[in-house]
Structure formats: C-alpha cells, structure tokens
Amino acid sequence: MKLLIKYLKPYKWYIALALVIKTSGTLIELVIPYIMSHILDDVVPQKELSGIILWGVAMIICALLACVGNIVANRMAAKTAKQSTEHIRHDLFARIMSLSSAQVDKFTVPSLESRLTSDTYHIHHLVGMSMRMGVRAPILLVGGIIMTLSMDPVLTLIMLLIAPFIALSVIFISKKGLPLYKKTQSSLDSMTRIVREDSQGIRVIKALSKTDYENRKYDKANIQLVADEKKAGITMAASNPLVTFFLNFGLVAVIVAGAVRVSGGDTEPGTIVAFIQYFTLISNAMMALARIFVNSTKGMASASRISEVINTETDLKVEKEEKYPWRRTEGYISFKNVSFSYLGKKNNLSDISFELPKGASLGIIGATGSGKTTLLQLLMRFYDVGEGEIRIDGRDVRTIPHEELNSKFGVVMQNDFIYVGTIADNIKFGRDISDEAVRRGARSAQAAEYIEQYEDGYDHMLQAKGTNLSGGQRQRLLISRALAGSPEILILDDASSALDYKTDARLRKAIREDFSGITTVIVAQRVSSVMNCDLILVLDEGRVIGAGTHDELIAACGVYKEISDSQIGGAILD
C-alpha cells in the first residue's frame, strides 16, 4: 500500500477532482429510484400529465448527468492509472539497472522480468478499478441503505441482515487468496525463465534435436502455473457465488416482506418498486466490492513484489576514502590478497595478488571454472571482495564512484549482446562517440574489412543478437565497441575465441600499436592470445598457480607448458 500511496501522491488533486465528479454522478444516480417512487405514489394518482412529464424529464436529466459524470471520472481514472504505472515501471527499471550482480542473482532475471511486466499490469488494473468502482460501490451501498431507511426501515433491516455474511465471506476468501497469487507469480517467473533460455538457445536446441525435451520442460512449468492459477482462481471465484447467493436470498426476503406490508397498507407499491431498484444498486455495489477484493489481492501481491525490488538497499555503496585511503602501489592495477565467494561458503577466488603497470597487458588463462571471469567482475566491482583489496592507480575500487569507475573500462564479455540497429549504433552504444572514433575502433578490431564490404557500410542494419553476422564478425564488432570509447582499461573476456589465429594476431598487434597507452586485461583459452602479454596469470580452482611472462611460465609452470605444447607445440606465433 505504501508503494501506491507514494506514486499516487503527485496526482492527489487530480484524483480528488475525479472523486468529486464520481461522487456527484453516483449521488445523482441514487436519486433516480426515489423520483420514480414519487411519480408512482404521488404524481400518477393525481392524473396530471404535466406533472408526469416534468418528473420524467427530471429523471432523464439525472440519468444523463450521472452518465456523463461516470464517463468523465472513468477517463480520469484511466489516465491516473496509466501515468502512475508508467512512473512505477520507470523507477522499477532504473532500480533493476542499478542492482548489483549479487542482487540480480538473488531475484533472478526471469523474476525481474515478470515484476516489470505482469506485476505492473496488476498495479495498473488495481489503480484504475479502485478509482472507478472503489468510489462508486461504497456510495451506492451506503447511500442506498440511507435512502431505503428513509423509505421503509423494516424492509431495510431485513436487507441488512445479510450484510455480515457477505463481509465475512469476502474477507475470508481474500485472506486465503493473497499467498496463492504470490505463488502463482513465482510459477510465472519459472515459466518466463524457461521461455527466455529456450528463445536464446533455439539454434542449439534444434541442432541437438532437443525440441521435444524442451517442450516437455516447458509443459511441466506451464502445468504448474495452470495448477497454481486454478487453485487461486477457484478460491477467489467462490466470492461471487457466495455474495450472489446471499443477495438473492435477501431480495426474496425483501419481496415477500414487501408484499405483506403492501397488502396490510403499511407501504406503497411505488416504494416497493423503488426499494427493489435500490436493492439492485446495493447488490451491484456489493458485487463490485467483491470484485475489488479479488483484484486488489492480485494487485497487493504484485505491489509487494515490486516493493521488494524498489526498496532493496544498495549493497555496493561508494565508501569514503577515510575507510580505504589512497596509497602508492607498484602497479596501475593492484590485487592484494583478494579472496571471494559467491555464496559465502567455498571461495571462488583465494589469495590473488599481482601488480600490473599502466599501459601493460595482463593475460589470464586457466580451465573452465577456474575463476577467470570472477576476477574481472571484482576488478569492475560487479561484486565486492570478501577479503583483500583491489586498487586502480592507488585508489581502492570501493571508493571510486560507479560512473567514474565504469567509464575507465572498455569491456567485451563472454555473453555480450547486439541489439537491433545499425552497426554504427551498436558500436556507439548510446555514447557520445564521433564517427571517426567508431571507424578507428573498427579498424583496430579488424571489423572494418567486412563492414566496408556492405553497400550501406556502417549504416547496415543488424538483427537482434547479431544473428545476421558470423561468430567472428560479432566478436570483432564487440571489440570495436570497446575500443571506440578509448578506455583506460580494455577487458577482453574470451573475446577472440571465434577468430582464426591470423586475425587474432592482427587484432593483438593493432591494439598494441593503435592503443599503446591502454592497460589491457585478456582472458582466453588460447595461449596465442595471451603469450605476448607483459604478465600472465595461470588460474586453477580460484588460485594462481603460475605468474610471469610466456617464457618464464614455459620454464616454471608445468600446467601452462602443457597447454602451450598442446595448442601451438611450443611455436611462437606473431
């Protein structure tokens, strides 16, 4: 509820005006049955056509005013719901973008996607429905009771006897429904994850003939979602039949009691007709309140899930330099006794220490799962170290503002992405980069040779994920993106795995010549990609088992020599 209040507060006067219009239209609507009762009991017996016409026109005017008021108020409700939900989506997306990698791991990407889509839709529906029905229904309920009390208190009391049964049934069912809808959203998260994974890996799935397997996996998640939705739906669906039953029971009781009172001369026929109309309005109001409870259960469950993300505290705060003061280091990039664990149990990196001078190159090689990418993520502060410290130019990375820290890097990650747009747009990536810088980056990355073969060159359109490029072309385009911003530190995480040895050699040579002052960190599986680096780290199970130049490691590190011999037979590649 706090979330809704926060985002509806800027529209308080607009909402107040909408509520005034809605209230006025509803109050006018309440007058119509009373006028009809007056016509039947007081005007018709006088047999004056002018009086009947006069009061009939009054009924028409009231109906028109009520109709116009409700239409205007409903349009205002729709506008409020649209704009407030737009702001929720904006802030939720911004918060998701600012979450640390650990927080994203905790929420999971599919869950964040469903919170941004289906949960915000439920909020939109809740706000609009509350402004439309949440005002009208209580007024019709209370106003109808007041009007019926003024007309016939006995019949009103008979009608009111059913109210406690309706209220208790709605409250009980809504209380049961809230956790069920939360479970339904969790099941939706699981199905979203499968859809996301399968859509990204559709080519691999088809290549390995695993379409049937993935269909079964999806069907299992879909069946679970349907089961949860069914359970929640059946539970909440019980409210309408129960409310209808009690209302119909009350209506029968009112009609029977009314007939007795008319025959006894205690009330007038017109009063009974008006009373039945009021009872219909009251019944509709109670049905509307029941629907509000059902939909508000969904909305509040979704609001709770959205609040979890928006209210998540930042866990990678910029620390004060008094806590981690600047100190002189031998290298531009410095790791000192760094250890880290994703889950807080077994270390993924243990006691990593090295110094890399400015403008030098660092190569990192090791088996899959040895901690190569984890080391890069700590350098860029996607996660904070568990022990030790990481410094850039003497400053602890925990004291560097995120925007300043991020601007130092040009990065090509293993699972980097390409979006629908031109080649130039993908290289610029929303940054204020000149066309000359784009071309320079492409030339150094060995991408210009294929880009310039297109008739439209850098304006050539790319499909989502760059599916109209080969693997090597995608990697060169991504390296172009990293180089175009002239970063202080270039990080290439297995960024040349799809390149042939000749192109890879030309790439490394171009980077050395065109970006001589840049500090380079290269993660690779191929010795040829790192053998010319000033410092090479050999990782195994999160530990450094060898450090030095290529020649030093050939002589002192058996694991590195074994990798080198298996790949290049000890030969030197330029």
Segments forming the whole domain that contains residue 458: 415-486
The SS3 call for residue 340 is: strand
CA gap 434, 559 in Å, rounded: 44
The whole-number pLDDT of residue 42 equals 72
The whole-number pLDDT of residue 508 equals 83
Task: Specify the pTM.
Answer: 0.69
Domain shared by 388 and 428, yes or no? no
Domain shared by 34 and 61, yes or no? yes
In this predicted structure, the answer to whether residue 167 has a pLDDT above a threshold of 90 is no
Domain shared by 399 and 468, yes or no? no
Least confident range from 183-187, 311-315, 538-542, 559-563: namely 183-187
Which percentage of the chain shows pLDDT scores above 90?
A: 13
> Highest mean pLDDT range out of 39-53, 282-296, 460-474?
460-474
In this predicted structure, the answer to whether residue 338 has a pLDDT above a threshold of 90 is yes
Domain end, chosen from 453, 486, 519, is at 486
CA gap 399, 318 in Å, rounded: 5
CATH number for the domain spanning 350: value is 3.40.50.300
CATH number for the domain spanning 42: value is 1.20.1560.10
- Using 50, 70 and 90 to split pLDDT, how confident is the model at 574? very low
Domain end, chosen from 257, 283, 310, is at 310
Structural domain contains residue 524: yes
Domain shared by 510 and 457, yes or no? no
Q: In the 3-class helix/strand/coil scheme, how is 3-51 assigned residue by residue?
A: HHHHHHHHHHHHHHHHHHHHHHHHHHHHHHHHHHHHHHHHHHHHCCHHH
Structural domain contains residue 352: yes
The whole-number pLDDT of residue 571 equals 47
376-418: per-residue pLDDT in tens? 999 999 888 989 999 999 999 999 998 899 889 988 887 678 8
Domain shared by 77 and 152, yes or no? yes
Structural domain contains residue 108: yes
In this predicted structure, the answer to whether residue 158 has a pLDDT above a threshold of 50 is yes
> Among candidates 516, 528, 509, which has minimal Cα distance to 443?
509
Which strand (E) or helix (H) includes residue 334?
strand 333-340
Domain shared by 139 and 183, yes or no? yes
Structural domain contains residue 86: yes
In this predicted structure, the answer to whether residue 129 has a pLDDT above a threshold of 80 is yes
Position with higher pLDDT, 248 vs 28: 28
DSSP code string of 147-198: HHHHH-HHHHHHHHTTHHHHHHHHHHHHHHHHHHHHHHHHHHHHHHHHHHHH
In this predicted structure, the answer to whether residue 572 has a pLDDT above a threshold of 70 is no
- Using 50, 70 and 90 to split pLDDT, how confident is the model at 178? low
For residue 107 the two structure tokens come to 């929420």
In this predicted structure, the answer to whether residue 187 has a pLDDT above a threshold of 60 is yes
Cβ(445)–Cβ(480) under 8 Å? yes
The whole-number pLDDT of residue 375 equals 93
Distances in Å between the alpha carbon of 148 and those of 36, 37, 267, 275? 14, 11, 12, 6
Domain shared by 165 and 112, yes or no? yes
> Highest mean pLDDT range out of 42-56, 434-448, 554-568?
434-448
> Among candidates 201, 252, 251, 192, which has minimal Cα distance to 225?
192
Domain shared by 517 and 472, yes or no? no
Distances in Å between the alpha carbon of 15 and those of 130, 233, 361? 11, 31, 61
Domain shared by 123 and 272, yes or no? yes
Domain shared by 385 and 363, yes or no? yes
Place of tokens 């809230």: 178
> How many structural domains compose the chain?
3
Domain shared by 171 and 281, yes or no? yes
Mean pLDDT of 24-50: 77
- Using 50, 70 and 90 to split pLDDT, how confident is the model at 569? low
The whole-number pLDDT of residue 340 equals 92
- Using 50, 70 and 90 to split pLDDT, how confident is the model at 514? confident
Mean pLDDT of 25-48: 77
Position with higher pLDDT, 50 vs 563: 563
For 300-338, letters b (16+ CB in 10 Å) and e give bbbbbbbbebbebeeebebeeeeeeeeeebebbbbbbeb
CA gap 436, 420 in Å, rounded: 22
Domain shared by 381 and 245, yes or no? no
DSSP code string of 347-375: -SEEEEEEEE-TT-EEEEEESTTSSHHHH
Q: How many CB atoms lie within 10 A of CB 464?
A: 11
The whole-number pLDDT of residue 539 equals 92
For 12-40, letters b (16+ CB in 10 Å) and e give eeebeebbebbbbbbbbbbbbbbbbbbbb
459-506: per-residue pLDDT in tens? 999 887 788 888 888 888 998 998 888 889 999 888 877 778 788 888
CA gap 239, 261 in Å, rounded: 33
Structural domain contains residue 362: yes
CA gap 271, 149 in Å, rounded: 11
The whole-number pLDDT of residue 347 equals 87
Average pLDDT score, the chain: 83
> Among candidates 146, 148, 141, which has minimal Cα distance to 26?
141
Structural domain contains residue 197: no
The whole-number pLDDT of residue 174 equals 66
**CA–CA–CA angle 508, 512, 513 (5° rounding):** 120
The whole-number pLDDT of residue 379 equals 92
Structural domain contains residue 463: yes
Cβ(138)–Cβ(289) under 8 Å? yes
The whole-number pLDDT of residue 177 equals 67
Domain end, chosen from 261, 295, 310, is at 310
Structural domain contains residue 221: no
- Using 50, 70 and 90 to split pLDDT, how confident is the model at 333? very high
